[in-house]
Chains A and B, each alone.
Chain A
């Protein structure tokens, strides 16, 4: 079974996000980057399928030079090879143009199954995996917590409001991973040492038959106008006095000042 996993490198969950005035993206100074945690579930699932049924796992990511670190980490976990869409033309895109770049690259590859995280924890768009499925003309099942493969089809359990839905789909298909799908492994010491020797191929737009104006910022359908930090929470106010009077005062403030009741 040939499995492709879409991987995005994102700021570590513990990053204290900062936006410099006038900038339209977060500041990357001093930020640690990691594999998108939901993509880790996808990688782990791919590795488990490979271990159970044989085959190989290819990672693909579109991103700056540094994104190669995320791919190397995935290789250290046990993936076989990686493709890095690495060109300035791929950068600054939105969910649409990123999905176009990935889908174009995937069209030139063999696959039986595509896995990715249900969302990336940076921009939280929840879109790329589903868009890739649409662009490739294959089915998708999103927010999956359990996946079983049978001859030529997949049975996926997905989270829905208040319960779960079991969906059967023919393969190839795109499955987006939700927390709970599995517990991702740590890269082993041997895996880390072997990762360096595994193929990590960098590709330009021309390599994937993409026109420079359909990927990255040029191909984006959305434009970020401004990015600002949320306003700092104002300090609380203590209403003093006897409980009875204070309660009345609080109700008055909530109604007249905060206008919430």
Chain B
């Protein structure tokens, strides 16, 4: 593992930076305020091949590693967390179907997902099953040559706009976590509908919605992996997702630092730029230091995953540290901006609201600490 990006990664980073500055930045603030989802951004991302980064080449992806993928996520998150999270949500079903799916499932779903023709989503959380994911209640009952789904999932990113949902449901409720199975459900399947669209504090340009199954019949070929593998599949998906959220949080934090540095040099009080005050300098120094540490931790987690080593605990550390860093850094950035920082005319309050959700999604930071501690004490 090198501390430097490869020539291709740097070239990709510059391209994505340019793309994000030209295509995403001009609409990000308004999309966030009005809670508008911009499907065309995902089409543009697809045009340059960014929706299938980790998908194998034979299914239209680029077949690249996570170390390269996180470079893209961070650059996009600097301008719009919702888009970066969307990229992650598009990626998750691809790597899960690639790893656990049948040849038929790969052929049917991977190309549409990697090319962005279809949007993907991941459905695990339920009203009563958040951190305690294995307590989920959605049921999948074998019926003839298929399954019948019943239940409600909440907080589903891209719920209602996605076409392909990876859904966790209980096939054997008495077996707890081992009774969970994973299914692909397509939009438009009878009995599959959408409920409440959530009104959120941040991440508003990304729709979060309730999805509902009422006697929703799906064919047997919808099962991903074996019956009872669902929880394992979900946890593996979350391990990867944590690296994504870590990278996105680094992007949010870096954007806040960039804004804070720029503002501190311009803003004058007591006849001098506020950047000349040690109180401000120390805050900026601490922000920069933790961002760098967070980025390296995220990159190490990606490296471990790419090289086939155990990475769950490091992914948890990366997610925990990067998102706590994002929260601290964005809060301090608002502080440096003072009263203006609290106003929507400046970008840092949006970054602060964005940072908060990164501490919660893909496993709360309390869950991350449990994962880390469990690894230490096993």
Closest to A75 in B: B11
**Contact indicator B12/A189 (Cβ below 8 Å):** yes
User: Which segment, of B45-53, B85-93, B340-348, B358-366, faces chain A?
Assistant: B45-53
Interface of A is mostly: helix
Is A107 engaged at the interface, CB distance under 8 Å to the other chain? no
Is A169 engaged at the interface, CB distance under 8 Å to the other chain? no
**1/0 contact string of A153-187 vs chain B (CB within 8 Å):** 00000000000000000000000000000000011
Closest to B9 in A: A192
- Which range contains the number of A residues in contact with the other chain? 10 to 19
**Contact indicator A189/B11 (Cβ below 8 Å):** no
In the bound complex, CA of A73 to CA of B18 (Å): 12
**Chain B residues positioned under 8 Å from A196 (CB to CB):** 7-8
B68 nearest CB across to chain A (Å): 9
**Contact indicator A186/B19 (Cβ below 8 Å):** yes
**Chain B residues positioned under 8 Å from A189 (CB to CB):** 12, 48-50, 53, 62, 64
Assuming the contacts A186-B18, A189-B49, asked whether A72 and B11 have C-beta atoms less than 8 A apart, the reply is: yes
Is B189 engaged at the interface, CB distance under 8 Å to the other chain? no
Contacts of B1-59 to chain A: CB distance below 8 A: 7-8, 11-12, 14-15, 18-19, 47-50, 53
**Chain B residues positioned under 8 Å from A186 (CB to CB):** 15, 18-19, 47-48
In the bound complex, CA of A195 to CA of B53 (Å): 17
B136 nearest CB across to chain A (Å): 36
**Contact indicator B15/A187 (Cβ below 8 Å):** yes
**Contact indicator B15/A76 (Cβ below 8 Å):** yes
Closest to A76 in B: B11
Assuming the contacts A186-B48, A187-B48, asked whether A192 and B12 have C-beta atoms less than 8 A apart, the reply is: yes
In the bound complex, CA of A235 to CA of B284 (Å): 29
In the bound complex, CA of A189 to CA of B53 (Å): 8
Interface centre among A186, A190, A195 (most CB of B within 10 A): A186
In the bound complex, CA of A195 to CA of B64 (Å): 15
Contacts of A36-85 to chain B: CB distance below 8 A: 69, 72-73, 76
Choose one: A69, A76, A193, A195; the contact of B62 (CB below 8 Å). Answer: A193
**Contact indicator A187/B11 (Cβ below 8 Å):** yes
Choose one: A69, A72, A188, A195; the contact of B49 (CB below 8 Å). Answer: A188
Contacts of B253-267 to chain A: CB distance below 8 A: none
A239 nearest CB across to chain B (Å): 23
A261 nearest CB across to chain B (Å): 33
Closest to B50 in A: A189
A202 nearest CB across to chain B (Å): 16
**Contact indicator A188/B11 (Cβ below 8 Å):** no
**Chain A residues positioned under 8 Å from B48 (CB to CB):** 186-189
In the bound complex, CA of A193 to CA of B53 (Å): 11
**Contact indicator B50/A192 (Cβ below 8 Å):** no
A68 nearest CB across to chain B (Å): 10
**Chain B residues positioned under 8 Å from A195 (CB to CB):** 11
**Chain B residues positioned under 8 Å from A76 (CB to CB):** 11, 15
Assuming the contacts A186-B48, A187-B48, asked whether A192 and B11 have C-beta atoms less than 8 A apart, the reply is: yes
In the bound complex, CA of A81 to CA of B7 (Å): 18
**Chain A residues positioned under 8 Å from B12 (CB to CB):** 189, 192
A193 nearest CB across to chain B (Å): 6
**Chain B residues positioned under 8 Å from A72 (CB to CB):** 7, 11
In the bound complex, CA of A187 to CA of B50 (Å): 11
Contacts of A72-124 to chain B: CB distance below 8 A: 72-73, 76
**Chain B residues positioned under 8 Å from A193 (CB to CB):** 8, 62, 64
**Chain A residues positioned under 8 Å from B64 (CB to CB):** 189, 193
Contacts of B152-196 to chain A: CB distance below 8 A: none
**Contact indicator B7/A190 (Cβ below 8 Å):** no
In the bound complex, CA of A190 to CA of B47 (Å): 11
In the bound complex, CA of A186 to CA of B7 (Å): 17
Closest to B47 in A: A188
**1/0 contact string of A129-140 vs chain B (CB within 8 Å):** 000000000000
**Chain A residues positioned under 8 Å from B11 (CB to CB):** 69, 72-73, 76, 187, 192, 195
In the bound complex, CA of A195 to CA of B10 (Å): 13
**Chain A residues positioned under 8 Å from B47 (CB to CB):** 186, 188
A95 nearest CB across to chain B (Å): 28
In the bound complex, CA of A235 to CA of B208 (Å): 51
**Contact indicator A192/B19 (Cβ below 8 Å):** no
Choose one: B14, B19, B49; the contact of A190 (CB below 8 Å). Answer: B49
Closest to B22 in A: A186
5 A-B pairs closest in CB distance? A189-B49, A188-B48, A188-B49, A187-B15, A189-B62
15 A-B contacts (beta carbon < 8 Å): A69-B11, A72-B7, A73-B11, A73-B15, A76-B11, A76-B15, A187-B11, A187-B48, A189-B48, A189-B49, A189-B64, A192-B12, A193-B62, A193-B64, A195-B11
Chain A residues in the interface with B (C-beta under 8 A): 69, 72-73, 76, 186-190, 192-193, 195-196
Beyond A73-B15, A186-B19, A196-B7, 9 extra complex contacts between A and B, CB < 8 Å: A73-B14, A187-B11, A187-B48, A188-B47, A189-B48, A189-B53, A189-B62, A190-B49, A192-B8
